[in-house]
Structure 1
Amino acid sequence: MRRLIVAIGFLTRLPVPIVVADADDFAGAIRCYPLVGLLVGAGVASAGWLGTMIDPWAGALAALAAWVAITGALHLDGLADLADGLGAAHGDRTRLLAVMADPHVGSFGVVALVLQLLAKLVLLHAVAPIGWVPLMLVPFAARIGPLAWARWLPPLKPGGLGASVAAAVRRRDLTGWALLLAAGAVAAPALLATPLLIGAIGLWLRRRLGGITGDAHGAGIELVETGLLVALATSAA
Structure 2
Amino acid sequence: MSVRKLILAVQFLTRLPTPQLRDFREEELSRTAVYFPLVGVLIGALVVLPLWALDARPWLAGLLALVAWVWVTGALHLDGLGDVADAFGAAHRNPQRFLEVLKDPHMGVFGVVTIVLQLLAKFVLLAELADGAWLWGVLLVPAWARWATTLLWSRWLPPLHAGMAERFAWYRNEGAYWDWAWGVALAAISLWLAPPLLICLLLAPLTAWYWKRRLGGISGDCLGASTEVLETLLLLALVLAPAAWRLF
Q: C-alpha separation between the residues in 2 aligned to 1:208 and 1:69?
A: 32
Letter in 1 for 2:155: R
**Matched ranges for 1:1-237 at <5 A:** 1-19=3-21, 20-53=23-56, 55-128=57-130, 129-130=132-133, 132-145=135-148, 146-158=150-162, 160-168=163-171, 170-185=175-190, 186-237=192-243
| Structure 1: runs of 5+ lacking an equivalent | none
User: Partners in 2 of 1:206 and 1:51 — Cα distance?
Assistant: 42
1:187: Cα distance to partner? 1.3
CA distance in 2, matches of 1:194, 1:225: 10
* Residue equivalent to 2:246: none
Do the aligned partners of residues 9 and 31 (structure 1) sit closer, same or farther apart at CA in structure 2, a change above 3 Å counting? same
Are 1:82 and 1:109, in contact at CA under 8 Å, matched by a contact in 2?
Answer: yes
5+ residue gaps, structure 2: 244-248
1:206-237 deviations in Å (ceiling 9; x for gaps): 12222111111111111111111111001243
CA contact (8 A) 1:48 1:61 kept: no
Contact 1:60 1:122 in 2 (8 A): yes
Q: Percent of aligned pairs with the same residue?
A: 46
SS in structure 2 at match of 1:35? helix
Q: Which has the larger displacement, 63-72 or 178-187?
A: 178-187
Q: Distance in 2 between matches of 1:202 and 1:104?
A: 27
Tell me the SS of whatever aligns to 2:171: coil
Q: Structure 2: how far apart are the matches of 1:52 and 1:104?
A: 39
Normalised by the size of structure 1, how large is the TM-score? 0.94
What is the Cα-based RMSD across aligned positions, in Å? 1.4
Instruction: For 2:127 and 2:236, locate their aligned partners in 1 and report how far apart those are by CA, in whole Å.
Output: 11
Amino acid at match of 1:108: F
User: Comparing 82-91 with 35-44, which one deviates more in the overlay?
Assistant: 82-91
Query: Number of residue pairs matched?
Result: 235
